[in-house]
Amino acid sequence: MRAPEAPCLPGVLAGYTLGDAAGLGWTNTVYALQAPGRQGFFRAPRSATPPPGVDWAREGALLAAAGPLAASVLFFDQETGRLATEACPGSPLDAASLKADSCCQALGQQLRRLHALPYPRDATPFHPARYARSCLQRAGEQGVSSDPRWQGRLEALLPHPLRSDRLTHNDLHGGNILRRGLRFTFLDWELASPGDPRFELVTLTTHLGLSHRQAATLFSNYGAQLPSAEEWRTLETLHWLREYAWALWARSEGITEAEVQEHQATKALERLEGP
């Protein structure tokens, strides 16, 4: 999938000029926005068809309710997914930042605020196994088949009970969280929907490679108990199945960078299947 040509800015952004592409993600191209004394970003989806699980209308409603937890919206088109936001100060979150207990405490508290946000009651709950299955189905339709081992593991975990009574972001990793001091801004709300906060915390811990102590501190300051070893293994398996399936869908779209994630997810799943 190629990056789209530089888009024309809508009239509401008169006064801004479109700069170079600031980032080329798997699903979007992000451009710099500039105006006298102001900066921002303009997101243009790389395809007219939303990726699996993405509902641009739902994303727009959630951004309107997120307040300081998200970047301020300058323009949003729910039909095309084009989005303009003000630039937020901060750096991508990493494990080193969370060595300080104060940082873990603040992140846990702000994640709890995120999970308490209202969400559309007709939104489809997020279950990582069901989401992974939809990714594999779309990949298969384009000729990319999945490893039977992980297909079978996925089918076995489809009935695994997870909560769906809290808003969850569903794409939390260091690149989607900007940190400035003890304040965090969460980016890329395309997949946000009702889900299970514990799965989200395990996902973030796994993405960042946090130590057991850091994970315990994060869960404690969030106000949740650390899952048992068995439950953690199950939630981490669901995380890597989702990552594997997402990578296969992306590869079917011609995104060759997804091969790295596919390999990483395969290695993690093999480890989790071991004794």
pLDDT in tens, 201-210: 999 999 999 9
79-112 burial, b at 16+ Cβ within 10 Å, e below that, comes to eebbbbbebbeeeebeeebbeeeebbbbbbebbe
Average pLDDT over residues 237-250: 97
At residue 2, the pLDDT reads 53
H or E element at residue 86: strand 82-86
pTM of the model: 0.94
Residue ranges of domains in the chain: 11-86, 91-273
Average pLDDT over residues 9-14: 93
Statement: 11-86 belongs to CATH 1.10.10.10: no
Average pLDDT over residues 126-141: 96
**Considering all CA atoms of the chain, what is the largest pairwise distance in Å, rounded to the nearest integer?**
60
At residue 121, the pLDDT reads 84
How far apart are the C-alpha atoms of 12 and 15, rounded to whole Å? 9
At residue 21, the pLDDT reads 79
Average pLDDT over residues 19-26: 76
pLDDT in tens, 248-264: 999 998 888 899 999 99
Would you tell me which CATH number, out of the four given (3.60.15.10, 3.90.1200.10, 3.10.20.740, 3.40.50.10710), belongs to the domain 91-273?
3.90.1200.10
At residue 48, the pLDDT reads 79
pLDDT in tens, 41-87: 999 998 878 899 999 999 999 999 999 999 999 999 999 999 999 99
At residue 24, the pLDDT reads 66
How far apart are the C-alpha atoms of 218 and 249, rounded to whole Å? 31
At residue 6, the pLDDT reads 73
Q: Inform me whether the pLDDT recorded for 25 exceeds 80.
A: no
How far apart are the C-alpha atoms of 134 and 202, rounded to whole Å? 22
At residue 265, the pLDDT reads 98
Mean pLDDT of the chain: 93
At residue 113, the pLDDT reads 97
At residue 275, the pLDDT reads 73
